[in-house]
């Protein structure tokens, strides 16, 4: 029981930490951009504020309600998985799931509050959609989980 409780606390602390980092970084960057500052004088990276009403790569544009429902379903699924497998799930996997969950929750929060997701990082050396910190959390969390699964060849 002690092991399960400490793992749950670890997941929740990581999840809350990542949510706070996302909210703080996003608000600071948006304020920086809106105050007239810009980073665009290089060939690699720019700050470019975009209001995205869709999901990744701008799919499902103007489907805010559907994307909120899908986010809630994904979070419920992740939390249910964690609770069911709390005794056997690795700490690395909990960290990655906290990162993934915080990214989903961050984008969901923006969809609920603003009606869109605020994107601002733009890669200039390739044609790639503008993205935000929550998107980074989601992608890094998924990539790390895939690596963990491939290396262990077992469940999370």
Active site residues: 119, 135
> Which DSSP string corresponds to the chain?
-HHHHHHHHHHHHHHHHHHHHHHHHHHHHHHHHHTT----SSSSEEEEEEEE-SSGGGTTTT-HHHHHHHHHHHHHHHHHHHHHTTTT--HHHHHHHHHHHHHHHHHHHHHHHHSSEEEEEEETTTT---B-HHHHHHHHHHHHHHHHHHHH-S--
């Amino acid at each position: 029981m002690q092991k399960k409780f400490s793992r749950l606390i670890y997941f929740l602390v990581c999840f809350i930490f990542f949510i706070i980092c996302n909210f703080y970084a996003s608000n600071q960057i948006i304020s920086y951009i809106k105050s007239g500052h810009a980073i665009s004088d290089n060939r690699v990276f720019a700050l470019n504020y975009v209001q995205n009403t869709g999901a990744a790569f701008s799919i499902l544009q103007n489907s805010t309600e559907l994307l909120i429902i899908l986010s809630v379903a994904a979070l419920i699924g992740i939390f249910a998985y964690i609770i069911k497998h709390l005794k056997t799930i690795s700490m690395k996997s909990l960290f990655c799931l906290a990162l993934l969950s915080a990214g989903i929750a961050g984008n969901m929060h923006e969809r609920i509050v603003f009606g869109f997701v605020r994107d601002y990082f733009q890669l200039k050396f390739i044609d790639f959609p503008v993205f935000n910190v929550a998107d980074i959390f989601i992608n890094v969390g998924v990539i790390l989980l895939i690596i963990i699964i491939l290396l262990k060849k077992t469940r999370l």
